């Protein structure tokens, strides 16, 4: 909910006094609870209503269709969430159908120029087999949009992530970074030494990272796709 509240603040500033109805679709109960807590603590939310749907995107789509709701919204965002969606083309098609006249859908996802894309495509053998999800980047999403005949614009957002501690033996922060990179809890403590070595070597490749002032900076570039 952190980004949502920032966006609501921008909307309030641009449209003072206009009522804002905010619907949240989120399957994780802990995330829903955290968002509600932020709302409870936030000032200046007069005129903003919240409707909570503890559902996956597919479950939400099914609910809307079963109730025959003519859902029309002014703005929809999907920020870093399509990795865990089962049927990406269908979900994009459904939410696009919910856009009102002159409305926008914002998709933020890892860019094809990111180190993640290289890890998933070129260095997949360096990752453990336990991770789940779709290894999809902006090129995969824009390909879906083109197949659906939907207009869009792409804005690249450069981003770097300092992962130097990943290469420091026994560093707690480095261990957590490796867990995040691999989607595996305690990766450094459980992975075979050869796999650990291969991954560390892959992370140092120019397709994945760069070096600045002796630090290793992982390329975390994002694509912001604005759908008409």
pLDDT in tens, 140-195: 999 999 999 999 999 999 999 999 999 998 899 999 999 998 888 888 888 888 98
| Domain 74-227 -> CATH class | alpha beta
The per-residue pLDDT for range 34-55, each reduced to its tens digit, is 999 999 999 889 899 999 999 9
Q: Average pLDDT in the 90-112 region?
A: 95
- Say if residues 207 and 95 touch (Cβ distance below 8 Å): no
Share of the chain above pLDDT 90, in %: 75
Whether the model clears a pTM of 0.85, i.e. scores above it, the answer is yes
Q: Which backbone phi and psi does 210 adopt, to 5 degrees?
A: -135, 170
Average pLDDT (3-21) is 93
Tokens of 6: 């920032």
pLDDT for res 106: 97
Rounded to an integer, what distance in angstroms lies between the CA atom of residue 58 and that of residue 66?
12
Using CB atoms within 10 A of its CB, is residue 169 exposed (0-12), middle (13-18) or buried (19+)?
exposed
Q: Where are the domains of the chain?
A: 1-54, 74-227
Asked if 206 and 92 count as a contact pair (C-beta separation under 8 A), the reply is: no
The pLDDT of residue 131 is: 52
Q: Which of 129, 227, 219 is nearest to 182 (CA)?
A: 129
d(CA 193, CA 222): 31
């Amino acid at each position: 909910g952190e980004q949502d509240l920032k966006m609501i603040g921008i909307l309030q500033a641009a449209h003072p006094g206009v009522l804002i109805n905010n619907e949240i679709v989120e399957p994780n109960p802990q995330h829903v609870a955290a968002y509600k807590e932020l709302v409870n603590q936030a000032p200046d939310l007069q005129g903003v209503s919240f409707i909570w749907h503890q559902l996956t995107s597919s479950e939400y789509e099914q609910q809307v269709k079963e109730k025959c709701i003519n859902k029309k919204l002014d703005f929809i965002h999907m920020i870093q969430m399509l990795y865990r969606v089962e049927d990406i083309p269908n979900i994009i098609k459904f939410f696009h159908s919910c856009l009102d006249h002159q409305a926008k859908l914002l998709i933020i996802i890892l860019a094809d120029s990111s180190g993640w894309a290289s890890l998933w495509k070129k260095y997949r053998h360096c990752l453990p087999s336990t991770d789940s999800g779709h290894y999809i980047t902006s090129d995969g999403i824009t390909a879906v949009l083109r197949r659906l005949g939907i207009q869009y614009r792409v804005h690249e957002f450069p981003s770097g992530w300092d992962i130097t501690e990943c290469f420091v033996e026994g560093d707690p922060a480095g261990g957590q970074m490796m867990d995040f990179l691999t989607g595996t809890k305690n990766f450094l403590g459980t992975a075979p030494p050869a796999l650990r070595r291969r991954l560390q070597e892959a992370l140092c490749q120019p397709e994945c990272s760069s070096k600045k002032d002796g630090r290793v900076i992982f390329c975390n570039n994002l694509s912001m796709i604005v759908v008409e």
